[in-house]
Amino acid sequence: MSQENNGAPAAFEIDLTLEEARRRAAVMAAVGPDWDPPAVLRAEELAYDLLYSGLDERQQETYDMLVAAGVLPRRGPGHAAA
């Protein structure tokens, strides 16, 4: 059996459309029919509010420094506990 190699790369294509559809179906099956994205986002916001509430003066300064540096997003109208 002879294979010709003229130095040109061979075209190699894989269509992953079916695998992507399977992956998405598996994700949706895993989260279940009761999944409520807005409720999840609200719960996450409440968790962040709780995490950054009740900061003492030094913690608030550190928080403000991290916000100013772009490490953390600004929450509320100026302060973490707001």
Which structure tokens are listed for 78?
Answer: 């100026």
Residue 76 contacts residue 82 (beta carbons within 8 Å): yes
Residue 81 contacts residue 55 (beta carbons within 8 Å): yes
- pTM (whole model) above 0.85: no
pLDDT tens-digit series, residues 43-67: 998 998 898 889 999 999 999 999 9
Residue 56 contacts residue 79 (beta carbons within 8 Å): no
pLDDT tens-digit series, residues 6-22: 778 888 888 889 999 99
CA distance linking residue 27 with residue 20, whole number of Å: 11
Q: How confident is the model at residue 79 (pLDDT cuts 50, 70, 90)?
A: very low
